[in-house]
Amino acid sequence: MVNFTPPSPRCPPHLGPRAPSPQQIPPQPRGGAPAPPSPPTRPGGPRPRTLSTPSRARRPMRRANARVELREQTLAPPTPAPKMVAQRQRSSSCRSRRHLAGALGLLAAAALALLLLQPRSPPLSYGVIIDAGSTGSRVHVIAYRAGALPRLDWTGTASLKATPGLSSFAADPHSAGLSIAPLVEFARRRVPRDSWVDTEVRLMATAGLRLLDAVAADAVLESCREVLRESRFRFQDEWATVISGAEEGIYAWVAANYALGTLGGGNQDTTGIIELGGASIQVTFVTKEPMPPEFSHILTFGDITYNLYSHSFLHLGQNVAYESLHDLLSTKGLKSMATHLIHQATYRDPCTPRGFSRMAGSVKLPVSVLESKAEYRPFAHAVGNFSECRSAVRTLLQKGQEECTYHDCRLGAAFVPDMEGKFIATENFYHTSKFFGLRSKSFLSDLMLAGEQFCHGDWSNIKKKYRSFNEGELLLFCFSSAYIVALLHDTLKVPMDHKSIDVTNQIGGVPVDWALGAFIVQKTPNRTEYSDPSVSYLNNYDSSGLAPLIFIAMVVFTVFSILKWRRPRLKTIYDMEKGRYIITRVNR
């Protein structure tokens, strides 16, 4: 009887060669004759027919097959049921998704907290300051945002200078207002039109107008007020004024310490400032030394009170001192020649390089020297001697010490305490140092060497070397080098190797300009306006500083969670065919 065997189901892989099933053993004919070959299977056709084997031939194979299955069960490691594995994988995947969703939720909450806690930035405002100096007027357009200290926006800040200074219009006051009209127009172009009505414009005159008599100075200021009233900026007549030398020094000190970030800090952290202008010198610094009341100035920022020494030395600026020195030298020469009534005298000029000659300005001699008020035009004989020039400058700086009413007068008849701590030297200190290419630190000893070489040079060679400078500028550098050494070392007792004086006009891109300091003082709220400064500090700083920290922490946590979730999950499987364990990745 012929039986058909149905197709067997697919079986898992087995260890070793697969044992044949009983149905696959071909029948053996009786008598030992070989069985006829099976007909070939037609592609796509039915499976071939096979004859069933006797039961006695099937038994030994069944036993062999049982032995194989027993061996397989012994070697294979126990595995969980397929349903349990799927459930575990689904549970792990759900936990990962919940973990990721929670991390993203925390990140969103941190971003929302950052938006809520971040203080709203105040709108951009503007201020205009006109610095009316002795050699020219400069307008400063300052963009800022209000706060405990105004925060400057340098993208909207600009300046422009016009010459000459307002003091040159003493004989024609009407032209003084016309001279600042281009500066006002420059400010109008820099400030948005809708901000004009809220933008204050102030004019502050310094040593140039301080040298004029009160009537002439007021006439010049009134001419400027007429222009400022028509500027369409906010303006009041008292905002155009002449400031004192002490105010100028204090404003410069504020600007320097604002740029250094020490304004509002301890007294010992501040830096003093020395300005060498064209008509005056300002010296301002914090000191613990007792001072006469006219030199002591109290300045308060926040909870810190500064006891400042500030004084302006009029007539000792570089340009005025240069003229004063030549008047002093020429007067000495004229006095020696007065008995002979020689109308052309020559005096020795050690502060000008050899080879230069010019006729000095007219000098009116006092009646005690000559019998008549004659005008003489003496000639300066340039000898170019640094040491002699320094000695002459020292005499000029000590002029008036006989009138000193204090226990110590280092500069003229004025009191100056010991200069301790760090200092910044600006304006002509910086210009002279830059001309000679000196370092900002320990520049006094280097300046003396550079000045000696320059003063002893020949004027024709100097002009060839410095062709980009005009003669008026070059003439001052021999004098300025000797003047700075005599001022700082010989008069104010600053050591030649002093390393705490930094010669600069900018700090971190912020100009050390007294006009900037005046603006900061005007825009800084008074201490009495805050009932509790600590609350203001927290509201303005702590919340805005805490929110970014929280946000950063949440970002780090989220990134860590995502990386953990993306980390591959592994599963160990025993390969029955190869007889070893295999580590495979499990899809989430």
Residues identified as active-site: 248
**Torsional class of 235: left (φ above 0), alpha (ψ -120 to 50), beta (otherwise):** beta
Element (H, E) at 131: strand 125-132
32 annotated to bind ligand: no
**Residues 6+ away with beta carbon under 8 Å from 554:** 106, 107, 109, 110, 111
520 annotated to bind ligand: no
Burial label for 77, CB within 10 Å (0-12, 13-18, 19+), is: exposed
Cβ atoms of 418 and 289 within 8 Å: the answer is: yes
**CA–CA gap between residue 247 and residue 521 (Å, rounded):** 11
**CA–CA gap between residue 249 and residue 263 (Å, rounded):** 15
28 annotated to bind ligand: no
Reported residue count of the chain is 588
C-alpha torsion sign, points 379, 358, 324, 439: negative
134 annotated to bind ligand: no
**Torsional class of 14: left (φ above 0), alpha (ψ -120 to 50), beta (otherwise):** beta
Both tokens of 137, joined, read 């007027």
Number of alpha helices (DSSP H) and beta strands (DSSP E) in the chain: 15, 21
**3-class SS string, 6-19:** CCCCCCCCCCCCCC
Strand pairing partners for 201?
128
Strand pairing partners for 275?
282, 426
281 annotated to bind ligand: yes
Annotated binding site for ATP: 278-282
